[in-house]
Amino acid sequence: MTHPNFAGQHACLWDYGLACDGTQWPPGFNTSDTPRPKLGDVPYGTKIFNCKVENTLALTYDDGPREWTADLLDILKANGVKATFYIRTINLYWELIAHKFDERSTLIRRIYNEGHQIAGHTWGHKNLDKMTRQQRRDEQIKAEIVLNDILGFFPTYMRPPFNICGPQCQEEMGELGYHVTAADLDGRDWEGNYTYTEQNFMEKIKGKNRNGVRAWLGLAHDTHEGTVHRYTQFMIDNARAHGYKLVRVGECLDDPEENWYRDPLTGDRPVEMPPRDMP
């Protein structure tokens, strides 16, 4: 079993045995029976690749929070930028079990409090298409339990690991009340070739997406030092130089913020949301 503070990837997940992190359930309110009404007009149960609001670019970060996330939040705040964070919740398992440290839970609260959008990236970051229906459902419910335990609500947006979620998976995510978001501006920053990543970014933002709209849904990772300390400022500077407004995913889809989260009891929009640091 791998401690999340000392490794980038859990070596022991649900398909390796009953003693592994991935088979465990986090403590907290079980959202299995939470109703899933459709909130807003953004499609459910079908993968969304593109932003729709002209001249917007959504900055998004997968897999955190990790050691570089605090630095990233500092950079975004210094630039007056709001982004979307897709949280891999197994990273918080030991914090929630041991109650001896609260570093990553605090980061998630900071992400929300500073005005960023929080979305799901499953529990164990496994290929959803290689799971059974029940395993996919468990992945999402466990992720909800963690985020609800920290925030008091859970998101209606998710991104599948590796951007893999076929028709059956998408349908099931829709039944659970999720907008399945992918990306059309992926520079593969996780490979570490930032020259390619930046060239790809520049080529894309000079044109329009496949729907003929000058708008882009990005993909990056706050688990990589180069992404935080090099690529993020590059994206901000060049997007603005080309006339883009940097936004959260819900904004680039013209979805009011009230639709981005779900109350664990009613399944509807949360009645009371904690205050946020907004411009």
Please state, in angstroms and rounded to a whole number, the distance separating the CA atoms of residues 120 and 126.
13
| pLDDT tens-digit readout, 71-88 | 999 999 999 999 999 999
The CATH code for residues 51-262 is 3.20.20.370
Residue 219: its pLDDT value, please? 98
pLDDT higher than threshold 70 for residue 8:
no
Q: What percent of the chain has pLDDT over 90?
A: 82
- In this structure, are strands 179-181 and 47-48 parallel, antiparallel, or unpaired? parallel
| pLDDT tens-digit readout, 96-117 | 776 666 889 999 999 999 999 9
pTM of the model: 0.91
Please state, in angstroms and rounded to a whole number, the distance separating the CA atoms of residues 84 and 86.
7
Quote the tokens at residue 102.
């609260």
| pLDDT tens-digit readout, 41-73 | 999 999 999 999 999 999 999 999 999 999 999
| Token pair 């496994």 in the structure block, residue | 126
Q: Which residues are catalytic?
A: 62, 221
What DSSP state is assigned to residue 53? S
Residue 275: its pLDDT value, please? 67
pLDDT higher than threshold 60 for residue 160:
yes
